[in-house]
Amino acid sequence: MEDILERAVQRARSQGASYAEARYQSDRNESILLKGGTPEATSVDTQRGISVRVLVNGALSFGATNVLGKRSLDSLVSKVVKGAFAAASARRTPIIMSPAEMVVANHILKPRVSFENVPWESRLELLKEADSSALEAAERSGITLPGRYISLDALTTERTIINSDGGHVHSVVPRVSMHVFLTALHSEKGTMQRIISRGESAGWEGVERWDLPSVLGRETKTLSRILREAKPLKGGKMDVILGPEVVGLVSHESSGHPGEGDRILGREAAQAGETYLSKDSLGLKVGSDLVNVVADPTIPHSFGHYLYDEEGVKARRRYLIKGGVINEFLHDRETAAEFGVTSNGSSRSVAYDREPIVRMANTFVEPGDHSLEEMLEDVRSGIYLKNFMEWNIDDRRYNQKYVGLEAYIVKDGELTSLVRNPVLEITTPGLWKAVDAVGDELEFSSAYCGKGDPMQGIPVGTGGPHLRLRGIIMEGSS
Amino acid sequence: MKPLEICENALSICRRLGANDVVVSVMNKEESMVRFSNDQVTVVNSLDEVSANIFVCLGRRKAGINVLDLGVRGLEKACREAVAMASNTPESSLYAPLPHGPFDYDQKLLKKATVPNGPDQAVHWTQEAMAAARKAGASRTAGSLVARNTISHLATSGDVRGVAYRPSLELSIRAFGEGLASGHSLSISADEAGFSPAEAGREAGELAKAAKDPVKGSPGKMDAVLGPMVFADLISQVGRFASAFYVDAGLSFLAGKVGQKVANEGVELIEDATDPHAYGALPFDAEGLPTRRKAILDKGVLKTFLHNSATAEKFGTQSTANAGLIAPAPFCLKVGPGDTSRDELLSQVDRGIYVTNDWYLRYQNYSTGDFSAIPRDAMFLIEDGQIVASLRELRISDNVLSMLQRVKGLSKERKWIKWWEVGTPTLSPTALVGELHFTASSQ
């Protein structure tokens, strides 16, 4: 494969490209779905192909094909170079790739338990056990579960990337991902829904670590309690403790996305949107001194894990917010050149036929020194949002909404009654500046983050400890 | 092998291996996409792909696989893997035999057609759109333009054979103006004659200019005029969740409501992929049934869910020719026109808000339809029937079904909508909705 990619790079160079990269990528997804306790189809979907990206006369062009013959690849290179010439006719300023130390590396993440050693029957057995656990918990709790949707994916991504600046990376990363959607019904109280996601860069041992039957049993029991016990919240000013699941999403949506170099430059303006930050925002105070938000692709087993990006740049840990101050943006080589810095290894692509663009990997609030109990102790009147169902954020990443799912009134340092659908609707600086205590235990969730056109849903980790926010105006229950 | 050979060979192999139902599809796709920002082309994307998929049933056991190597040996291997997977899969509760053809497809929908899809033409159209937006008052633009030709081959063990040509042109352009002002417009078409990049650019530019210097809006319940991009996003939720798959999974606010009035009687929603001139037209669904026009909402009454053969069997009805092999789905949605104009709808509002675009619609509860979505781009305060100010930073927090009951009027003019936020092509009017709930950040 290296020979073929090298040939594509050389051909592009000979046709006028000042920079060229070629990538082979194969994504195999083994998927099963249990709906209402019975299996739908099992499926294996493997997408593989070669992409070429070139810079010609200061214009970028990308192309891909899954027809892997020599003639097809030669045709692809010519088409991509032609596309760059066409693009160059509609550019005033040239695109430049920032200088970067190129990596020659091989990164193979070996699963402890390979997917091929786990038969379909065993996978379905596990899902059925989890489904039964949820049903039993529902029966014990006096509710029903009219909607139960459990999907489990085993994914393997293999990439080889070669570029004209000397980068050469081969990687194989297995991932496991689970998505559960539960609808709980109480005959008098109505319905409540919960989405549960798990994801790791690992083999089947990742799934075994999750203990799905226990998770679904526990979550069903909680849904029952919310349905039976939760009372409406009277809105007003109060302290708010956010659970790690909420904090993870906040760090992703309200720090990671605003800090993406391509958004700041307006490259995503018509799709995933823009940002409230600008090129001049480094050093801007957006949060309290306690807020440190980290983006780190290198965390072992994390869902967003990678060691080398799509441009052959070594990944590293970055502080997006440090001490409440905007500290660093996420860059690929294109945006880094615009900002006069070097790439920090943020170029990712979800498939062979998708352009590499600036992406997050694992974004999280760095833990502090408070236990949850210590946070609660100092709250006279407040609310604890452990997790959420509904959320969204505007395209400048400035106004966000989280509707709590499992949420409790805090009174004189104690968790008291459950509240139903409390609404937190707040600006980004309003949220980060209100943080006065940071928990000491970091927890991660997994998600697929959407961006780009065509859409690229890419695996990411979102994480955080508990955060305490002072003096927040909560809306009443929705 | 040629696509039809792939289909015939795969059918033959899978049947030989014991499959009772087999669906083979082969798709060729060739496209150019231009992405642009700050009035410059950001990147040109060129794709040339062939994909083949095999779906088999062994009794009620189902499995699907895509074929990587389209040679004889690769096809044999994929067929064997698909049948082996099905044999190791427990029986599905959702099963029905495939529809048995052959069927007569509408010849107009089978017509060979293509659109120009080279990068030079795509860049030229993009420049037209950007120039029109700037001329209309935009300070900068961003967006994407796609020119795509797709050929789909389908063969099933139910004696179905079909070839469909689907050309498409899509432009999404966002124009920016003064002080956080922006406007968004689209042009989508199945042919060059219906594609209007300059018109879309002009509209986006005019909206951005009109929306200059927006101020923070005040929350509350107000009458709202929702432009086609917004109403298409909201009404396409009805199309999406009319899928019997979602109903069966407990994920639809329409569950149990067939025959009930779920919207104002003026609201008609048609699922129709049979208009040969429309973007999204299709001769057959994924099981090979000829597509057909049907009302999802008629005078506000929910008439049907969308079915494939398997969901229809479970619900005790007939397929609506909306397969998806696993999940049925709408192909093309049309909202019936109203009897007034957008300006007349605006004139009916004493105090309210005109929203031209939205995004990031998320549900609090799929089974009740409680949701929120964020207006973006041009949004205006209406007083005494007149636009009096440009607004920003509001959120729509409401309920789909309740909102549809509060539709007070629809415009005669309709526009085709499909973009990043609205996946199903939807022909939508402007709508006037009473007492829409707007919320805002508290601090």
pLDDT at residue B184 in the model = 98
What pLDDT, on a 0 to 100 scale, did the predictor assign at position B375? 98
Tens digit of pLDDT per residue, chain A (478 long)? Answer: 899 999 999 999 999 999 999 999 999 999 999 999 988 878 999 999 999 999 999 999 999 999 988 999 999 999 999 999 999 999 999 999 999 999 999 999 999 999 999 999 899 999 999 999 999 999 999 999 999 999 999 999 999 999 999 999 999 999 999 999 999 999 999 999 999 999 999 999 999 999 999 999 999 999 999 999 999 999 999 999 999 999 999 999 999 999 999 999 999 999 999 999 999 999 999 999 999 999 999 999 999 999 999 999 999 999 999 999 999 999 999 999 999 999 999 999 999 999 999 999 999 999 999 999 999 999 999 999 999 999 999 999 999 999 999 999 999 999 999 999 999 999 999 999 999 999 999 999 999 999 999 999 999 999 999 999 999 999 887 7
B160 confidence band (pLDDT: 50, 70, 90): very high
In-domain check, residue A38: no
Nearest-by-Cβ selection for A181 from B93, B251, B373:
B251
Chain-centroid distance, C-alpha B311: 21
* Three-state DSSP class for residue A86: helix
Which residues in chain A are closer than 8 Å to B85, comparing Cβ atoms?
A: 42-44, 120
Nearest to A120 among B43, B89, B374 (CB): B89
Instruction: Single out the residue of A277, A259, A257, A263 nearest to residue A328, CA to CA.
Output: A259
Q: How many CA atoms lie within 13 A of A56 on its CB side?
A: 29
C-alpha to C-alpha distance for B208 and B206, rounded to whole angstroms: 5
Residues 391-410 of A with CB under 8 A from B: 391-396, 398-401, 403
Let me know whether A189 and A78 are in one domain.
no
User: Residue B123 is nearest to which of A39, A89, A147, comparing CB atoms?
Assistant: A89
Residue pointed to by tokens 């969901």:
B311
CA distance B33 to B84: 39
Any A CB within 8 A of B107 CB: no
Interchain CB distance below 8 Å, A86 and B119: yes
Both ends of chain A: CA-CA distance in Å?
56
Q: Has residue A289 been placed in a domain?
A: yes
When pLDDT is cut at 50, 70 and 90, the band that residue B88 belongs to is: confident
- Measured CA to CA in angstroms, residue B218 lies from B351, B382, B405, B440 at distances of 12, 13, 24, 7
Interatomic CA distance for residues B405 and B396, integer angstroms: 16
- Co-location of A19 and A97 in the same domain: yes
What's the CA gap between A105 and A67, in Å, rounded? 27
Residue A351 with chain B: CB contacts under 8 Å: none
Question: What pLDDT was estimated at residue B385?
Answer: 98
| Those residues with Cβ within 8 angstroms of residue A230's Cβ, 6 or more apart along the chain or in another chain | A407, A417, A418, A419, A420
- Among A6, A452, A53, A62, which residue's Cα sits nearest to residue A270? A452
Does pLDDT of B3 surpass 80? yes
Say if A137 falls within a structural domain.
yes
* A267 chain-B contacts, CB cut-off 8 A: 35, 37, 42, 142
Task: Give the pLDDT of residue B93.
Answer: 78
Closest-CA residue of A relative to B64 is A43
Burial of B433 (0-12, 13-18, 19+ CB in 10 A): buried
Interface contact flag, A120 B366, Cβ < 8 Å? no
- CA separation for the pair B295, B330 (Å, rounded): 11
Final residue belonging to a domain, choices A193, A213, A230:
A230
Q: What DSSP string runs through B343-363? A: HHHHHT-SEEEEE--EEEEEE
Tokens of A8: 């594509």
**Which residue among A40, A86, A423 places its CB closest to the CB of B120?**
A86
The confidence score (pLDDT) of residue A455 equals 94
Residue-level pLDDT at B442: 86
Say yes or no: A338 and A391 in one domain. Answer: yes
Cα A58 to Cα A95: distance, rounded to the nearest angstrom: 5
Q: Quick one: CA dihedral A208, A210, A216, A217, positive or negative?
A: positive
Contacts A50 to B, Cβ<8 Å: none
Instruction: Flag whether A110 is in a domain.
Output: no
Q: What is the mean pLDDT of chain B?
A: 96
The answer to whether the Cβ–Cβ distance between A46 and B68 falls below 8 Å is yes
A140/A161 same-domain check: yes
Residue A418 token pair? 């459950």
Residue B70's pLDDT band (cuts 50, 70, 90): confident
Is residue A324 assigned to a domain? yes
Angle between helices A120-141 and A212-229 (to 10 degrees): 30
Look up residue B63 and give its two tokens. Answer: 């499995």
Q: What ipTM score was computed for the predicted complex, to two decimals?
A: 0.95
Which residues make Cβ contacts (< 8 Å) with residue B196, sequence separation at least 6? B187, B189
A320 shares a domain with A213: no
CB atoms within 10 A of CB B385: 15
User: A197 is in which domain, residue-wise?
Assistant: 115-230
The closest of B7, B5, B55, B49 to B324, measured between CA atoms, is B55
pLDDT band at B277 (very low <50, low <70, confident <90, very high): confident
3-state secondary structure of A327: coil
Considering the domain architecture, whether residues A71 and A198 belong to the same structural domain is answered as no
Spatial contact of B205 and B417, defined as CB atoms under 8 Å apart: no
Three-state DSSP at B388 gives strand
Joined tokens for residue B412 = 């005669």
**Per-residue pLDDT reduced to its tens digit, B187-205:** 999 999 999 999 999 999 9
| Chain-chain contact of A389 with B32 (C-beta, under 8 angstroms) | no
Output the CA angle B406-B412-B415, nearest 5 degrees: 95
Do A213 and A252 have their domain in common? Answer: no
Query: Longest Cα pair distance anywhere in chain A, in angstroms?
Result: 73
Closest CA–CA distance from residue A11 to any residue of chain B (Å): 17
Count the helices and strands in chain A (H runs, E runs).
10, 26
Taking the C-alpha atoms of residue B337 and residue A8, their distance in angstroms, rounded to an integer, is: 53
Closest CA to B85 of A180, A151, A45, A175: A45
**Partners of residue B37 in chain A, C-beta under 8 Å:** 265-270
On whether both A190 and A337 belong to a single domain, the answer is no
Q: Are A222 and A406 in contact (CB under 8 A)?
A: yes
Q: Is residue A32 part of a domain?
A: no
pLDDT score at B443: 83
How far is it, in rounded angstroms, from Cα B8 to Cα B324? Answer: 21
Rounded CA-CA distance B196/A184 in Å is 48
User: Measured between CB atoms, which of B44, B363, B440 is closest to A390?
Assistant: B363
Tell me which residue of A243, A239, A321 sits closest to A282, measured CA to CA: A321
From residue B412, give the alpha-carbon distance in Å to each of A273, B170, B408. Answer: 31, 23, 14
| CB within 8 Å: A401 and B34 | no
Domain boundary residue among A101, A133, A165?
Answer: A101
Question: Across the interface, do B144 and A270 touch by the CB < 8 Å criterion?
Answer: yes
Cis peptide before A300 (omega within 30 of 0): no
Taking the C-alpha atoms of residue A475 and residue A235, their distance in angstroms, rounded to an integer, is 4
Instruction: Please tell me whether residues A213 and A175 are part of one structural domain.
Output: yes
Q: Which helix (H) or strand (E) holds B83?
A: helix B72-87
For B285-315, how does the pLDDT look when each residue is reduced to its tens digit (9 = 90+)? 999 999 999 999 999 999 999 999 999 999 9
**CB atoms closer than 10 angstroms to residue A41:** 23
Please tell me whether residues A250 and A378 are part of one structural domain: yes
Element (H, E) at A363: strand A362-365
Q: Is residue A160 part of a domain?
A: yes
> pTM here?
0.96
In-domain check, residue A378? yes
Task: Spell out which residues of chain A touch residue B361, defining contact as CB-CB under 8 Å.
Answer: 392
Number of domains in chain A: 3
Residues in B touching A92 (Cβ below 8 Å): 39-40
User: What DSSP assignment string belongs to B112-163?
Assistant: -------HHHHHHHHHHHHHHHHHTT-SEEEEEEEEEEEEEEEEETTTEEEE
**Confidence (pLDDT) at B357:** 98
Listing DSSP states for A370-408 in one string gives B-HHHHHHT-SEEEEE--EEEEEE-TTS-EEEEEESSEE
d(CA A21, CA A129): 47
Residue A75 CB-density burial (10 A; 0-12 exposed, 13-18 middle, 19+ buried): middle
CB contact under 8 A, A426 and B441: yes
Residue % of chain B over a pLDDT of 70:
100
- Using the predicted structure, report yes or no on whether residue B400 has a pLDDT greater than 80: yes
CA atoms of A176 and A152, how far apart (whole Å): 7
Last residue of a domain, one of A203, A230, A257: A230
How far is residue A123 from each of residues A41, A208, B57, B79, measured CA to CA in Å? Answer: 13, 11, 20, 22
Domains of chain B: 3-209 (3.30.2290.10), 215-439 (no CATH)
Instruction: Please tell me the predicted confidence (pLDDT) of residue B92.
Output: 83
Omega before B119 within 30 of 0, i.e. cis: no
Contacts of B316 (CB under 8 A, 6+ apart): none
What residue has token string 């927006």? Answer: B214
Please give the Cα distance from A468 to A476 (Å, whole number). Answer: 19
- A305 shares a domain with A163: no
Same domain flag for A151 and A70: no
